[in-house]
A = this chain, B = another copy of it.
Amino acid sequence: MTQQGTLGVAVIGTGMMGADHVRRINDVISGARVAAVVDIDEARAKHVADGVEGARAYTDPAAAMAAPDVDAVLIASPGPAHEAALLTAFEHDLPVLCEKPLTPDPASALRVLEAEQRLGHRRVQVGFMRRYDSEFMKLKSLLAGGELGRPLLLHCRHRNASVHSYFTSDMLITDSVVHEMDQSRWLLEQEITAVTVLRPAPTANAPEGLGDPQLVIFETDGGALVDVEIFVTCGFGYQVQAEAVCERGTARVGDAHGMLINRASGWGGEIAPDFVARFEEAYDREVQAWVNATRRGAVEGPSTWDGYAAAAVSEAGVRAQTTGERTVVEMIERPAFYS
């Protein structure tokens, strides 16, 4: 640790998420500082590092992790680079906050899972930020408290105004619905056992070849059903909603709210433009929670197991989307290490 226990963080990757985390660590949260900025593009790494007092630029993640003022690693590079970065972090026994996905497929996620077990203690928090959203936290707390009884159904909506032209149908599952996979497992405390993907005639507003929207169904080992509307070209903004239907009541989060205006066009309010605006405070809380846990030597939040499970369900989801069939999720049994 640096003086006064401030955590020195190496941020790997300086894309939109990485750059935002650098800003967050520097300007928003408490107890951490950016010690290293890593990007294979040296000019970009330097540019970002120059904006932060005391931060050095690196092109090699391993070099950054070896630096004496680096106490922890935040991985925000593209998914395919995660496995190598995670294994290197394990070599240096550094705590990691790894943006989702843990890795892009179950096989690589399994290798990370095994490496962490060989290390002998948990080191990874996966970046499923919805677990840190104040409304989702209230829903989790309500369900865990048991007042409404056992959850039976979970209705989810996930809408983006638009996507880049390179967005593919696969990404609907692996990039978007992956959030509902983790959210469902976390809220229900059940594993997802099968996935079915139902496809209506797509909207005319989707890029060529993108079957948007879709209705994705999860079955769980506790007998619950989850339905997810994924609609990434809805046009009007970013909305994430969930309603848990339980034996003695239902609870819904994610409705629009806040300032309410009366004007000539009617009554109502604004819809968040994108996930950054919608989940800004969740991201702040997530990184702060990681820093706080790390400073007291703990590992909390979504684990490597959660990252592996999401990868396994994603794989089944992509197959279900391709075949149009109900597809069973293939997963190893949960190791006692992660119980």
Interfacial residues, chain A to chain B (CB-CB below 8 A): 3-6, 25-31, 33, 53-54, 134-135, 138-139, 142, 147-150, 152-153, 155, 198-205, 213, 215, 217, 222-225, 227, 229, 231, 234-237, 239, 245, 247-253, 255-271, 281, 288, 292
Contacts and interface: CB of A to CB of B under 8 A. Distances in A.
Contacts of A134: 258
B247 A263 contact: no
Given A223-B200, A266-B268, A251 B261 contact: yes
14 contacts: A5-B53, A25-B30, A148-B261, A200-B225, A204-B247, A205-B248, A215-B227, A227-B227, A237-B266, A249-B262, A255-B257, A266-B269, A267-B270, A268-B268
From A247, A249, A267, residue with most partner B Cβ within 10 Å: A267
Nearest to A255: B260
Contact of A249 (B6, B26, B235, B252): B235
A268 B255 CA distance: 11
Contact of A28 (B30, B54, B250): B30
B251 A235 contact: no
A223 B212 CA distance: 12
Contacts of A263: 147-148, 236, 248-249
Contacts of A217: 198, 215
Given A54-B4, A288-B28, A264 B247 contact: no
